[in-house]
Structure 1
């Protein structure tokens, strides 16, 4: 009897990290792969990227519509509630032996909640990380406590998962599976990429992705305006911008992105989604990766491109030496970009140093998922760390 493994994906970035794993699972004769698609994949405004999954040759086992039209925290809450109801129906019908979720999105949290109550063991990828500027920080750690197997992208993250009370023999350091895509094949050459996008690259090129900072107090439009002001200080540079995700404030940012691109035809290209191959190809042809996406910290260093990381959205994540952090002010962003374009950072980036491994994570994860014993997996004991020292006395009132 084959092991039924269901992989959940709710958006373009997450799928880019899961695609290699899905290929390995699909090729394993001992595994029956089921794919559960939801969230931004099913929305036209975010590129309807379920089409990309099917174009890659995968069969969708279930589609769960959950995103409500809205750009507010209450709309996100309502989407999570709707997702919980519909994921329960889908998972009850599919009845997998394992559910695989990645990362820290609210869509993944809702899927994991449904699986736990239905008695379906959960395998969680990219747990133990930190992104202190966004709600995803809490979502990620909550999924860790719901999950039964854990695949960390680096050893410090494995230790944090154990610190959260998870049994060490269920926590594996495997590297970042998204790096497998970097080595999947050669990127598009410049001409092919230009033809695919219908956009000509310039003498200098920036790849930009900016998402809402959901725990920040600054209006998303103001943060985007500062970024665009900085980009305009490099009028010779051509800019490829991917739109923001479905978090609160994302639609406001996307409206600003579309206006920015429309006002600068031929110099700025905006899209809801590039897909993994075009995105990585654009990264190869970019001189600097700019924004607050995790791809600037995970993929860009291995591709050999410097990153200008804005603000607090990725605060707490491990960084390669090719990542430059700056505040979300136009002057600070422009100065960081100037530094990234300089010979010193080009030399640093060329070393392609990364704290997340060099690929091969998908095969390691697939092997464990296919063979880890399932008996008793739902039962968890809290793993206590050794006492650090004597307890502090309470401060007298």
Structure 2
């Protein structure tokens, strides 16, 4: 009997970093055959051609699906989804996977899920049931949930939410946040090695910043970034390490603004298209606070017992640790949140907290379920009705 073919789809540097140890688990299992489809930002020179990182890590990319247009408008993103469906349809026909694995809520994943659904290939989805009320990703995540057949969620609350959407309880597994596996398994850089790697000394204070467009509130990105920069100007000697946004609507505008700000503070600020998982997690370990609206500030940063200044509504609805400080996208509110994050009292209080997303060892659990699942029964999905009065 041939090995079970498990196809992992990845479209961004961050998503690949989360999937790395699961891919390694599948690759190292003699009873499984790993297939990889790279798409989206991985194939774009603008975003660093990060498919090369996948290959440098010792993985073989079986298919590359070009779908990313040189446009961050709503029309450009919608067109990219259409191109993606076409590309994934051909890739899946050639690969003939037994099951496909996707993570999260991005438009590249929506395209892959649609192609898999029509091709009648079972789909396993990671990080379903979560809410991010400020972005279109909210609807994408829930749509992918309904097209999926196995669900790996990060908390019991999210498991209940997926079941509430009509998914069978015996197909929904609470495994924790897969990104924590990287923290547990990687040998992170010491402070000196990290400073050498980014060619920037870490002053007091030091910040790691990532701000993504809030796609349900178009036109606000420029204002929000200007407010953030004004708040940072209150710390003229602070080290600021920016990671640039994903290929979303208004993403290029944010990238240009970051470049201009870094140019105005070349001795203290630096921007990266991609830090990679090792440098990114090492940065969290050594900076004083993480600022922006990335899911990493909610999922991974609390594991380090470091403060997160979470701007705006992009992560609204997600379960949060006590180390997360929410603020409005105004100079005053951001500034107040940064002051709180740097205060000795706050930093002392969060030292004794636990992450609500588990403590890692997630990839092995997922691999085991993917290996043992009866795939022949997965495609027949019944709607699970909750016993409740409306």
Scaled to the shorter chain, the TM-score interval is over 0.9
Q: Are the aligned partners of 1:154 and 1:175 in contact in 2 as well (CA < 8 Å)?
A: yes
Cα deviation, residue 100, structure 1: 0.1
Match of 1:208 in 2: 209
The residue correspondences of 1:132-147 to structure 2 (distance < 5 A) are 132-147=133-148
Match of 2:188 in 1: 187
Cα deviation, residue 349, structure 1: 2.8
TM, length-normalised to structure 1: 0.96
TM, length-normalised to structure 2: 0.98
**Structure 1 Cα separation of the partners of residues 352 and 112 of structure 2:** 39
Closer, same or farther: CA 94–182 of 1 in aligned 2, 3 Å: same
**Structure 1 Cα separation of the partners of residues 47 and 7 of structure 2:** 23
**Structure 1 Cα separation of the partners of residues 329 and 219 of structure 2:** 10
The answer to whether the aligner puts 1:309 opposite 2:310 as a matched pair is: yes
**Structure 2 Cα separation of the partners of residues 345 and 245 of structure 1:** 31
Q: Are the aligned partners of 1:200 and 1:266 in contact in 2 as well (CA < 8 Å)?
A: no
Match of 2:352 in 1: 351
Q: Are the aligned partners of 1:131 and 1:315 in contact in 2 as well (CA < 8 Å)?
A: yes
Q: Deviations over 1:278-312 (max 9, x none)?
A: 00001101100000000001110001210000000
Match of 1:287 in 2: 288
Cα deviation, residue 326, structure 1: 0.4
Cα deviation, residue 348, structure 1: 2.8
Q: Deviations over 1:67-123 (max 9, x none)?
A: 001121000001000111011001110010000000000000100100111111000
Match of 1:394 in 2: none
Match of 2:23 in 1: 22
The residue correspondences of 1:101-120 to structure 2 (distance < 5 A) are 101-120=102-121
Q: Which runs of 4+ in 1 moved over 4 A?
A: none
Select between 45-54 and 284-293 the one with higher mean Cα deviation: 45-54
**Structure 2 Cα separation of the partners of residues 162 and 185 of structure 1:** 34
**Structure 1 Cα separation of the partners of residues 305 and 311 of structure 2:** 19
Cα deviation, residue 203, structure 1: 2.2
Match of 1:254 in 2: 255
Match of 1:57 in 2: 58
Cα deviation, residue 200, structure 1: 1.8
Q: Are the aligned partners of 2:13 and 2:274 in contact in 1 as well (CA < 8 Å)?
A: yes
Select between 196-205 and 269-278 the one with higher mean Cα deviation: 196-205
The answer to whether the aligner puts 1:9 opposite 2:15 as a matched pair is: no
Match of 1:94 in 2: 95
Matched residue pairs, number? 389
Q: Deviations over 1:249-277 (max 9, x none)?
A: 10100010111111110111101000001
Cα deviation, residue 376, structure 1: 1.8
**Structure 2 Cα separation of the partners of residues 85 and 124 of structure 1:** 21
**Structure 2 Cα separation of the partners of residues 205 and 254 of structure 1:** 20
Please give the secondary structure, in 2, of the residue aligned with 1:70.
coil
The residue correspondences of 1:73-88 to structure 2 (distance < 5 A) are 73-88=74-89
Match of 1:165 in 2: 166
Cα deviation, residue 185, structure 1: 2.9
Match of 1:237 in 2: 238
Cα deviation, residue 351, structure 1: 2.4
Please give the secondary structure, in 2, of the residue aligned with 1:383.
coil
Select between 329-338 and 178-187 the one with higher mean Cα deviation: 178-187
Q: What runs of 5+ residues in structure 2 fail to find an aligned partner?
A: none
